[in-house]
Structure 1
Amino acid sequence: MLRPEVLEYYRRGGERGRLSSGAGRLEFLRTWDVLTRMLPPAPAEVLDVGGATGVYAAPLAQAGYRVTVVDPVPEHVAVSAGLPGVQAVVGDARDLPAGDASADVVLLLGPLYHLQERPDRLAAWREAARVVRPGGVVVAATISRFASLFDGFVKGFFRDPGFGPLVERTLAEGRHGNPREVPRWFTSAYFHRPEELPVEVAEAGLVLRRLVSVEGPLWMSPAALADFLDDPALLLDRLREVEDEPSLLGASSHLLTVAARESAGGAVRNCRAWLTTRAGWRLAR
């Protein structure tokens, strides 16, 4: 289900603890903030696809949601299955082990950026559309096309001569690779341009609701973040005000796409409206 290097990356703990400090903590807080505003109230049925060790499944279950994690890494599933109120199964985002219209919410907070081929990403979107009930919500996370460029400066990766060619290919094609499997660099992935996401949503027969920058450009200022993460109320308030500002979308490390299941015709009309309103960037409300 996963490329061998991706599976190895997660098995050696490449993401373990990433969301607990610095820019990762900001990513978690902002993602959780968006979920609390976009999800239907508990006890809704949530399918957390690519939910890993349950970093979002656990608080969702605590809030009263009925949560099932689907993840391709058996070790992740074993951890998630041990969380109170959480069920977990091994599975693939492109072929979900769930019935038609069986969930109120489908979260794709990991799969899309590990599917380098567009047909595979569309398959994941279409599976989410199949599984979610009419009127239900799909929330998907993607990595910005420009994340490795900025990350290289923030973390000093450009000191390694092998990092430059990696960034050049990512910028040109969206394909992020780690040919030498350098532990500090992210593994094989696809990095989206913001304008790709409304098109993918429409092709899956979903209706785009919001396209949101998660961290904005603040993830590139770890020293400044340290002053706010222990008491993040002000930070979250301010970021909400600009979360769908078109000119900031590409500067965020991650984007969240919020979609709903409606008619395929409605999804196409919604996508066209999004692309043509405010110079093709701001989503009409």
Structure 2
Amino acid sequence: MNTARRSATVGGVIDAEILEFYRRGLEGDRLTAGTGLLEFLRTVDVLERVLPAAPADVLDVGGATGRYAAVLAAAGHRVHVVDPVPEHVAAAAARPGVTAAVGDARDLPAATGSYDAVLLLGPLYHLTARADRVRAWREAARALRPSGVAAGATISRFAPLLDGFAKGYHADPRFRDIVDAGLGSGVHRGPADEPRYFTTAYLHHPDEPAAEPVEAGLRAPRVVAVEGPLWLLGGRLDEILADPGRRATALDLLRRVEDEPSLLGASSHHLTVARAAT
């Protein structure tokens, strides 16, 4: 597998294979069950604690079909989604209280100092070049009002390795090559003919995420584990999340250890929260 290849972009915004991956419609239901639901619940849990009180102006960059935007709008925030996939934008714009437009995280269609919060829950792991990720953070910083908050999601360097064991993917030699390449360079490239495997992405080592927003001019970054190790429970995770009491216990315990450095590498996703300069 040639991990050095560069992907063609569509309109300078998104790699062609990434657009093709999302046009399969996988994002619509991804956050509604299993590990996706845990990711969603934990991300909302963190956002509820770090975002300004409603009503706030929130820019949801890479907001996909608007699942997070809908929750924030229902809580009283004014939410605008920017996403490079036209089908995502149409779905997000159809949600109550949410506006949406096609755009690029590296060149936001937002006036300077116009938002209280900027979310980068989708774009960072699809920008394989560090300079592009810092540029996305810098654009978030530009769009923020003084003392505003930015939050960005990243995928763990070790997520494909662990996911491969959980789902039996390592039986495919191609997947082992993908994992090997990702462990070395951080760049993950899934084959276009295998929809089970994630598309082009950058996988952050747990030591990396905090430095990028700092370079972009943001301050006080805090990196937390989103799912922790619970995402590896498979079918048992569905049972836990379906029971209100067990779900509450899981979320409470994960909240208590979300800052534990030794657990960051076991989480599929990390969330980095940083502040605008005052």
TM bracket, shorter-chain basis? over 0.9
Correspondence for 1:239: 254
Correspondence for 1:272: none
Counterpart Cα distance in 1 of 2:31 and 2:193: 21
Counterpart Cα distance in 1 of 2:48 and 2:212: 24
Counterpart Cα distance in 2 of 1:214 and 1:50: 18
Select the residue among 113, 116, 141 that pairs with 1:104: 116
Q: CA deviation at 1:257?
A: 0.2
Counterpart Cα distance in 2 of 1:249 and 1:106: 23
Contact 2:82/2:100 (8 A) holds in 1: yes
Which residue identity is paired with 1:226?
D
Select the residue among 206, 218, 227 that pairs with 1:194: 206
Answer yes or no: is 1:53 the counterpart of 2:65: yes
Q: CA deviation at 1:203?
A: 0.3
Q: How many residues align?
A: 263
Answer yes or no: is 1:214 the counterpart of 2:226: yes
Tell me the TM-score normalized by structure 1.
0.90
Q: How does 1:1-285 map to 2 (within 5 A)?
A: 1-230=13-242, 231=244, 232-262=247-277
Deviation string, structure 1 residues 100-142 (Cα, Å, up to 9, x no partner)? 0100000000000000011111110100010011100000000
Q: CA deviation at 1:181?
A: 3.4
Which residue identity is paired with 1:147?
A
Deviation string, structure 1 residues 170-216 (Cα, Å, up to 9, x no partner)? 00000000134311000000000111112112100101342110000
Correspondence for 2:3: none
- Which runs of no fewer than 5 residues in structure 1 stay unpaired? 264-285
Query: The residue matched to 2:60 in structure 1 has which SS?
Result: strand
Please list every run of at least 4 consecutive aligned residues from structure 1 whose deviation after the TM superposition is greater than 4 angstroms: none
Query: The residue matched to 1:187 in structure 2 has which SS?
Result: coil
Which stretch shows the higher mean deviation, 78-87 or 39-48?
78-87
Counterpart Cα distance in 1 of 2:46 and 2:59: 17
Q: CA deviation at 1:227?
A: 2.8
- Which runs of no fewer than 5 residues in structure 2 stay unpaired? 1-12
Identity of aligned residues (%): 62
CA root-mean-square deviation? 1.0
Contact 2:141/2:217 (8 A) holds in 1: yes
Contact 2:17/2:192 (8 A) holds in 1: no
Which residue identity is paired with 1:222?
G
Counterpart Cα distance in 2 of 1:83 and 1:38: 23
Correspondence for 1:269: none
Counterpart Cα distance in 2 of 1:71 and 1:239: 29
Counterpart Cα distance in 2 of 1:202 and 1:240: 24
Contact 2:214/2:221 (8 A) holds in 1: no
Query: The residue matched to 1:227 in structure 2 has which SS?
Result: helix
Tell me the TM-score normalized by structure 2.
0.93
Counterpart Cα distance in 1 of 2:152 and 2:229: 20
